[in-house]
């Protein structure tokens, strides 16, 4: 029963994330780092690629993952 509930929650979350991402055009600029644009399509691709690898549930949240991605891009630009 609990396993079925968890599977249901994952399906709902995945469906919600797909619907929320469908509002973006892949060429829309999501944010910029040092005047270098980061496109929404790039973020969506990385998010979908890594979502199954993430074990921490809080990092699967799109807003939290976006903040992690922004921090990653900032550190990358500093290097």
pLDDT per position as a tens digit, 11-37 = 766 666 655 655 556 678 888 988 899
Q: What is the pTM of this model?
A: 0.61
**Is pLDDT of 52 > 90?**
no
d(CA 63, CA 31): 13
For residue 71, give the DSSP letter.
H
Full residue range of the structural domain in which residue 14 is found: 2-78
The closest of 66, 60, 21, 63 to 41, measured between CA atoms, is 21
- Choose between 5 and 23: higher pLDDT: 5
What is the band of 73 on the pLDDT scale with cuts at 50, 70, 90?
very high
In this structure, the number of other CB atoms found within 10 A of the CB of residue 71 comes to 10
d(CA 6, CA 66): 24
Residues 64/57, Cβ–Cβ less than 8 Å? no
Q: How many domains does the chain have?
A: 1
């Amino acid at each position: 029963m609990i396993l079925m509930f968890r599977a249901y929650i994952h399906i709902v979350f995945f469906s919600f994330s797909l619907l929320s991402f469908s509002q973006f055009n892949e060429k829309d600029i999501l944010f910029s780092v040092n005047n270098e644009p980061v496109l929404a399509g790039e973020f969506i691709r990385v998010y979908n690629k890594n979502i199954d690898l993430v074990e921490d549930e809080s990092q699967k949240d799109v807003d939290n993952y976006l903040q992690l991605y922004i921090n990653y891009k900032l550190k990358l630009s500093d290097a």
